[in-house]
Amino acid sequence: MSSESEQDKERLVQAAKMFFFHIKDLTSFTNTLTELFNHNMNTQILSMAVKENTNIKDFFEQMLRIFKEMQSVVNEKYNKMQKESLCSKFATAMCSMVEKSTNVKELQESAKEVFKSVHTPVIVSVLHNGNILGSLESSLSLLMQFPIMNLQLSDFYREDNKEQSEVTTSEKNTSPGPSKTTMVDILKKLQDALKAKTANNPTESAADLLEKIVKDMGPILEILQKAIKSIETDISMFKKVNDK
């Protein structure tokens, strides 16, 4: 077995592990956003329920369902705000102020009177003005075009098997332990799902594609993190101003 082949296997294993934990993070962030949304918008959007036997297509479809439901509520609320000129001007002004201001105290003082007279859902401004939900939907739709949709989360990594990567870096352990069996099974499923018809090295090709998928998931995680932080910050500021 060539050194290059071992390196390609290790790349594929590491990309699969990263994919697994990206899915875990996406689940956590999406559920946090859903909880914030439900609490502040009086909705009852269902959170994600993801297990290791969850199909990847089902996972992404759950995320899309959540973002589409949120988008529908945001559009309805925003359109209602547009009909009320004061609310509309307030939402636009506040979004701009939050982006530009570095002085929270100054921002609170300048917005104090407006906050007292207009109870605009801050979360609508945050999600609508940056087209956050639309961006998330587009990114997920692109990810769903990759040939991994029929795999399960456990086909990428299994948290109860901490020694599985050893099989790709050493041939010394010849005992037919569970970690070796598990790793061989994972590698085969990934290679079959990600193989290119014209690839001379199927493992290298699979590693390249899975690394690209993992890289493409990065911006989705960033958008979710920024959205959650913005919503939490703006709502906190809203409450502080109204409590004064």
Q: What gap in Å lies between CA 120 and CA 41, rounded to an integer?
A: 11
Using 50, 70 and 90 to split pLDDT, how confident is the model at 95? low
The yes-or-no verdict on residue 117 having pLDDT over 90 is no
Q: Tell me if 112 sits within 8 A of 244, measured CB to CB.
A: yes
The yes-or-no verdict on residue 159 having pLDDT over 60 is yes
- pLDDT tens-digit profile of 125-158? 888 888 899 999 999 999 999 999 999 999 999 8
Q: Tell me if 51 sits within 8 A of 153, measured CB to CB.
A: yes
- The residue with greater pLDDT, 168 or 43, is 43
Average pLDDT (61-86) is 85
Q: What predicted TM-score, i.e. pTM, was given to this entire model? A: 0.74
Q: Tell me if 234 sits within 8 A of 35, measured CB to CB.
A: no
Determine the pLDDT at residue 230: 87
Largest CA distance in the chain: 74
Using 50, 70 and 90 to split pLDDT, how confident is the model at 94? low
55: which strand partners? 152
Would you list the domain boundaries of the chain? Answer: 3-243
The yes-or-no verdict on residue 173 having pLDDT over 70 is no
Average pLDDT (10-28) is 95
Determine the pLDDT at residue 32: 95
Q: What is the mean pLDDT of the chain?
A: 79
Q: What gap in Å lies between CA 158 and CA 186, rounded to an integer?
A: 9
Per-residue 3-state assignment (H helix, E strand, C coil) for 183-215: HHHHHHHHHHHHCCCCCCCHHHHHHHHHHHHHH
The yes-or-no verdict on residue 37 having pLDDT over 60 is yes
